[in-house]
């Protein structure tokens, strides 16, 4: 069984460091078999998070938004209100490996946004979910960055719902210079919030991962 914890949505967004500490507490409990595997869903206060591979020239230069270095792979990205964050705290060995987990999350997000009128796809060699353009480019609509510690995942996915894209102008998002970023609202013209998608995301996650015995 996978528990789902809704930690806070707008107007009660969660400061990044508070969410990170919540992840660590639940991770320790899952590692110790003290609680069920857990999916944390939330919206963060506005923040840039920099993974271990972030280059100096990819960081914001003049923004007043905090930049926090985190213990995941990957590079820099933005989190904030209007973006649905999911932190899966689950055992990797029960799902094959970390790459298999990422691919499963990509597919559940593709399936999640399809009924909204968004055709999400994978892009070879790049994680996350993308929207292809007629000119052959693609814009990222969901990012995935995970870490495995003691056989249990941390960090997770960010689905762009209805936030401004302006923060991405300040960084080289995920270290990718030849692609853009988009949101569900931009693609559909509908103001779809993280709260609107929390329930269906929780159900999709359970349908994907609870089918595999833990």
Residue numbers annotated as active site: 174
Instruction: For residue 120, give the nearest of 134, 110, 112, 111 by alpha carbon.
Output: 110
State the first-to-last Cα distance of the chain, in angstroms, to the nearest integer.
8
139 neighbors 186 (Cβ within 8 angstroms): no
Which two tokens mark 191? 């103001």
**Backbone angles phi and psi of 21, in degrees to 5:** -65, -40
Beta-strand pair 121-123/47-50: unpaired
8 neighbors 43 (Cβ within 8 angstroms): yes
Q: Residue 105, class by beta-carbon neighbours within 10 Å (0-12 exposed, 13-18 middle, 19+ buried)?
A: buried
Instruction: For residue 157, give the nearest of 143, 136, 139 by alpha carbon.
Output: 143
Which two tokens mark 82? 């209007």
């Amino acid at each position: 069984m996978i528990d789902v914890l809704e930690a806070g949505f707008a107007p009660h967004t969660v400061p990044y460091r508070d969410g990170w500490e919540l992840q660590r507490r639940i991770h320790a409990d899952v590692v110790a078999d003290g609680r069920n595997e857990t999916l944390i869903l939330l919206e963060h206060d506005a923040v840039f998070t920099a993974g271990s591979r972030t280059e100096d020239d990819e960081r914001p230069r003049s923004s007043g938004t905090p930049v926090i270095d985190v213990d995941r792979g990957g590079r820099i990205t933005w989190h904030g209100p209007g973006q649905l964050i999911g932190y899966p705290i689950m055992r990797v060995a029960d799902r094959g490996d970390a790459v298999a987990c990422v691919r499963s999350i990509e597919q559940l997000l593709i399936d999640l946004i399809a009924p909204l009128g968004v055709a999400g796809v994978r892009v070879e060699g790049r994680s996350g979910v993308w929207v292809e353009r007629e000119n052959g480019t693609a814009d990222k609509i969901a990012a995935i960055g995970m870490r495995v510690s003691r056989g249990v995942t941390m960090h997770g996915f960010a689905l762009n719902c209805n936030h401004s894209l302006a923060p991405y102008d300040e960084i080289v998002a995920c270290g990718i210079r030849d692609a853009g970023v988009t949101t569900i609202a931009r693609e559909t013209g509908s103001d779809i919030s993280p709260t609107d998608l929390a329930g269906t995301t929780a159900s999709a996650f359970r349908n994907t991962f609870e089918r595999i015995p833990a």
